[in-house]
Amino acid sequence: MISSTQTNHPLNSFASSSQSVGSALEHACSRLKSAGLRITQPRIAILTALINRTEPATIEQIHLDLKDSACDLVTVYRCLAAFEDLGLVRRCFFHNGTSLYQIQLSDEPVYHVVSKEGSILETLPAELAKELSAVIVKIEADLKARGYADVTNMAAFFATASARQPAAVAEKA
């Protein structure tokens, strides 16, 4: 019988990571297992890179984050596509159409306001994100009831950064 403490286990290389990264990684791996996917070193490396990022990133940025070239760029593309199908990552876009990926470990929806110049300004407040998500769920259910299949959506908000008011000014308005 093989011991669970064997040194070549994929999770052993991340044992020194912080507790929050470790628990997030364990949660992500359990979602992969429940979907019938194997836990491989490249998948763990990609998940760790996503968990360590505070903002969405392009596939190329994620690939650059991988230590010691854990996998090639094609593997990153394939893994992110599989993670997106599982709902483990969420894809969003810059105004120019560039795809960005962000880890999605909870069921809480996340929506970004993206500047038309190409950088993320902020994340919508959780309350507004929940309201938007509830409306999207209703629309998807209606479309399915009318016979549509494989219903998906992308909600994005784009704004010009110069039009953004400071919070103190916005509260007075």
> Which H or E element spans position 8?
none
67-93: average pLDDT: 88
State which amino acid sits at residue 70: A
* pLDDT of 114 over the 70 cut: yes
Please answer whether residues 124 and 113 qualify as being in contact, where contact means their C-beta atoms are separated by less than 8 angstroms: yes
Alpha carbon distance 88, 81 (integer Å): 10
**What pLDDT does residue 4 have?**
39
- What span, in angstroms and rounded, lies between the C-alpha atoms of 30 and 152? 24
CA 29 to CA 5: how far, in whole Å? 17
Say if CB 106 and CB 88 are below 8 A apart. no
Q: Where are the alpha helices (DSSP H) in 7-159?
A: 19-34, 41-52, 59-65, 73-86, 126-145
Q: What is the pLDDT of residues 122-166, one digit of tens each?
A: 788 889 989 999 999 999 999 999 999 988 887 878 888 765 555
List the structure tokens of 96.
Answer: 């120019």
**What is the per-residue DSSP string for 78-95?**
HHHHHHHHHTSEEEEE-T
Q: How large is the average pLDDT for residues 19-39?
A: 87
Is the whole-model pTM more than 0.85?
A: no
The CA-atom distances, in angstroms, between 35 and each of 106, 139, 149 are 16, 26, 21
Q: Which helix (H) or strand (E) holds 159?
A: strand 157-159
